[in-house]
Each structure stands twice: as structure tokens, then as C-alpha cells.
Amino acid sequence: MLDHILSILIFFPALAAMLGFVVHKDSMRSYGVAVATIEFALSLWLWFAFDSTISGMQFMEQIALVPTFGINYIVGVDGISLFIIILASFFTMIGIASLGETKDVKNMIITLLFLQMTMAGVFAALDAIVFYLFWELSLVPMLYIIGAWGGPLRIYASVKFFLYTFAGSLVMLVGMLFMAYFYFQATGQWSFAILDWYRLILPESFQLWLFVAFFLGFAIKVPMFPFHTWLPYAHGQAPTIGSVILAAILLKMGTYAFIRFSLPLFPDASVYFMYPIAVLAIIMIIYTAMVAYAQKDIKQVVAYSSVSHMGVIILGTFALNVEGISGSIFLMIAHGVVSGALFFLVGVIYDRRHTKYMSEFGGLAHVMPRYATIFGLMMMASVGLPLTINFVGEFLSLLGFYKQSHVLTLLAGTAIIVGAIYMLSAYKKMFFGVITKDENRNLPDVNKRELLALIPLAIITVWLGIYPKPVLGTIDTSVEAVVSLMHEKAISKEAKSRIPNIANETDMTKNSVEEAH
């Protein structure tokens, strides 16, 4: 079974979703929880069986699809993708278990299971066409979730989300076709296998154009400034579960793709565009933080906060060293946990009051102490308080980029302080002071269904903040292989100097240990 565990992880939710059409609507919630729990258990088994000392791909499967053009179903997992797959199955499970929707629940759960398939497929795919198919298919369930269960502007928000991401993906597809053509020119054979492409060494001029093609597709998905305008609408109009999955998993597709495609395929272009991308990332951090501070709607505060933290992930990714890239991957997981929890928490209060305006609240800590405690913990994690999960990822991301530019890192670090200001301000408005609205005096605290989602997220936030090694150690091994590949493929002296030589660093470490002994 382990030989095919990735295919099972990908297609089991889709098969279960199709069978869900014949399940009675009254039993659908239990059915969805059972399917998602099995999927999560399989992802944990994948982690248990994963060898963290191996840097390459594991559990690989390959089936020929269009042999003439080298298109194959190839899947595999390494330390970079492992934990994002686990995170996707975990959020699907707790999302269905704590689902507050009462309208058309059966179709909602079927849609979430189809979405689960596309998420697992994106992070496991090792063939560019298969990756592209899962990448595009993920748009359809999310379009339906926002359009069918969203707020008053749901149609506008869902169409804008679809058009932005679909347009960027088409440019990315052109880049993939060129990569396959270059591989054909070099070897006489067509191939869309990403691991085959890793062996190509392209001239710097080709790298620059291809980097831009891939960048557009990935940057819109992240979303990077100035492509971010679709996200606040999508978050603002989406139902709670839609915002949770979007923030926790779907945004990570873009940052993951940078590490899987852009860095190892185009090392010279990555160095060439490092500073412009860093500047865009810092604008993301500062600009969206300031916009978040100006918001009156708590969900929009969390939405813009999410974009701001994605800027730190981008900064770590383009540090182009082990510390930065490992930190950015860890921060993807941390951001997923914390922002997902914050959107859950916003959904809790919206279910009770049917408003998201902070002016409608105040003094909630008196009537909802458990809710206030969990919200406070997640808010502190969001601003990067030490001993919480975000701190580890942010610290490593900034430490990695500090090796490339002291000034830009200092600017990014001070900008994160703005995050603390707007989150503390929002918390003060909602939870402290006296209760001024009579509607808030008898609000029920979080119930068992809501705690089912929030308590595991709170535990993970503290546990991985204190002891990140089980996750970080596995990530490091695979990131070292990526950085080593980038250094080997780099052509220009500038790229060689910016991308560390892992082999030399390892030899120096060994020599230092031997001298110490």
C-alpha cells in the first residue's frame, strides 16, 4: 500500500466525493468527517514512513499518459511538500468537523473533498502538466464555494478570483511548454518531468524570460503586490471554511511553486531578480499592514494581515540559502495554522452576531472568556511572539535574507512591528473595555464543535513554537539539496557568490569538529 500511498491520498477524497452523491443529506456530515479523518490518518502514515535523512523524492509513482510528448503521471514527496500535504488533510478534516454552514451542507462537503484532491495533487505532482492540471482544477471548487455560499458580492469576488489566477496560469503554461522544448533540443526527447528539467542548464538570457513567465503565475496565486487585489474580496465574501482553506493551503501553492520550479530551474535569474522581488515583498509587508490597520471589518484585518505575512515568506524564499528557504517553508505551515485559526475565530463571532464590524463589539472578554483566550493566543502568534509557531519561521526567513542584505532585512523587521500594532488594536476594540451593545451581553462562548477545530490549532501553535525540530529537521534536508543544485547549475559569478556551496559548508563543519576533537 505504501507504494501507492500518494495516489491514494490524491484520489481517495475524489472517489469519496462521487460516492457522496448517493449518501443521504442527513448523514453527509458524518460521512464527510469519516472520509477526511481517514485521509488525515493516511497523511500521518506518510510522515511516519518518510525517511527524513533522504533529501530526494520518496514514494514516487510513474504512469505514462502521453509518451510521445513525455507527459507522465509522476508523483513524489520530499521534506518541502510533506508537511503541506499533511496540513491540507488536517484543515479539511477539522473544517468539515466544525462546519457551521446549514445551507446545502451535502454539496459543500462534496466540494471540499474534490478540493482536497486538487490540493494533494499540486503538492505531490512531479510532472509539469499534471501539476498544471491540479493547479487549475483547484480553482473550480473554490469558485463554487465563494459563489454559492459567500456574501452579497460573492459572484464578483469569485469571478475576480478565477480570472486573476487563471490568467497568470496561462502565462505559466507557456513557460512550461518552452521548458519542454528546450529539453527536447538538448536531449532529442520530450519531457515534462520536473526532475528531468533540473538537469538542464539554460543560458542566463533564457532563464530571465522563463523566470518571468513562471513568476506571473506564482505571484498572482501568493498573491504578491501588486497582484493582491483579488484576495480581500475573496476572503471578505467567502464563507468561513472557504477563507480558512484559501489562507491555510491555497495561497501556499504559489510560494511552494517558487521553491519547486523557479529556484532550481533558474538559479541565475533568481539571483538577478532577488532584490526587485525583495522590494516587492517589503512593500507587501508594509503596505498591507497599514491597510489592515485602517480596516473596520475584523475579517478584512485578518485578510490583509495574511498578505503581509506572505511577504515574509517570499523574502525568506529569495534569501537563496538554507536558513531562508527552510524558514519560509516552516512559515508556510505556521501561517496556515495561525491564519486558518484566525479565520475560524472570525467565523465563530459572525455566526453569533452576523456582523464583522469591530465597532459592534467591545468587552467580549467578559462574556466569552474561552474565545478571548484562544483569539489572544492566535493574535500573539500572528505577530511573531517568541515560543509561538510564527516566530520560528519569521526569524529564520529574516536571518536568511540578512546574509544577502542587512538594510532590506532591517526594513522588513521593523515593518513587522506594524503587524503587532494593528492586531493589538483590533483585539483591544473587540475584547477589552465595557460592553456597550446589549446584543453582546448574553453571547454563548465557544461550543464543543468549535473547540474541536480551535484546540488542536492552539496546541500546534505552541508545540511547534517551542520544539520545531520534528518538522524543521526534515525540511532542512531537502532544502540543502535544492540549494546545492542551484549552486551547481549557476553560471554567473554573481549567482555563484550569492548561492552558498553546501558541500563546502559541510566540509568546513566537519573540519571544525575534527579540530575541536
pLDDT at 18: 92
CA distance 469 to 471: 5
CA distance 456 to 458: 5
Q: 19 Cβ partners below 8 Å, 6+ apart?
A: none
Amino acid at 229: T
Under 8 Å between Cβ of 182 and 199 = no
C-alpha cell at 216: 506571473
CB atoms within 10 A of CB 97: 16
Helix (H, G, I), strand (E, B) or coil at 319: coil
Q: φ and ψ at 498, to 5 degrees?
A: -80, -30
CA distance 389 to 402: 20
C-alpha cell at 213: 513567465
Cell 473544517 belongs to 95
Concatenated DSSP letters of 277-317: HHHHHHHHHHHHHHHHHH-SBHHHHHHHHHHHHHHHHHHHH
C-alpha cell at 352: 453569533
Q: What is the CA radius of gyration of the chain?
A: 22
pLDDT at 464: 92
CA distance 106 to 473: 40
Number of residues that this document lists for the chain: 517
How far, CA to CA in Å, does 79 sit from each of 246, 251, 377, 379? 22, 19, 28, 28
Give alpha helix (H) positions in 436-468.
Answer: 448-466
CA distance 143 to 51: 37
C-alpha cell at 154: 460573492
Sign, CA torsion 352/353/354/357: negative
Q: Facing residues of 58 across strands?
A: 77
Q: Is the bond leading into 223 cis (omega within 30 degrees of zero)? A: yes
pLDDT at 503: 63
Under 8 Å between Cβ of 119 and 250 = yes
Amino acid at 397: S
Determine which helix (DSSP H) or strand (DSSP E) holds 61, and give its type and residue range: strand 58-66
Q: pLDDT tens string for the chain (517 positions)? A: 677 899 999 999 999 999 989 888 888 889 999 999 999 999 999 999 998 888 888 899 999 888 888 899 999 999 899 999 999 999 999 988 888 767 788 899 999 999 999 999 999 999 999 999 999 999 889 888 888 887 788 888 888 888 888 888 898 999 999 999 998 988 888 889 999 898 888 888 888 999 999 998 889 888 888 877 888 888 888 888 888 888 888 888 989 999 998 899 998 999 999 999 999 999 888 888 888 888 888 888 888 888 888 889 999 999 888 899 999 999 999 999 999 999 989 988 888 888 888 888 888 888 889 999 999 999 999 888 899 999 999 999 999 998 888 888 888 887 778 878 888 888 888 888 888 887 878 888 888 888 888 999 999 999 999 999 989 989 998 999 999 888 888 787 787 778 787 766 544 333 432 343 3
Determine which helix (DSSP H) or strand (DSSP E) holds 397, and give its type and residue range: helix 389-402
CA distance 38 to 237: 30
CA distance 508 to 517: 14
Under 8 Å between Cβ of 262 and 214 = yes
**What dihedral do alpha carbons 369, 305, 115, 94 form, nearest 10°?**
-20
Q: 246 Cβ partners below 8 Å, 6+ apart?
A: 142, 234, 235, 238
Determine which helix (DSSP H) or strand (DSSP E) holds 76, and give its type and residue range: strand 71-77
| Eight-state DSSP code of residue 353 | H
C-alpha cell at 512: 571544525
Q: 188 Cβ partners below 8 Å, 6+ apart?
A: none
pTM: 0.91
pLDDT at 507: 46
**Segment 275-333, tens digit of pLDDT:** 999 999 998 888 888 888 888 888 888 888 888 888 899 999 998 888 999 999 999 99
How far, CA to CA in Å, does 276 sit from each of 281, 359, 361? 9, 39, 41
C-alpha cell at 406: 542587512
CA distance 168 to 160: 12
CA distance 195 to 197: 5
Torsion-angle region of 134 (φ positive above 0: left; ψ -120 to 50: alpha; else: beta): alpha
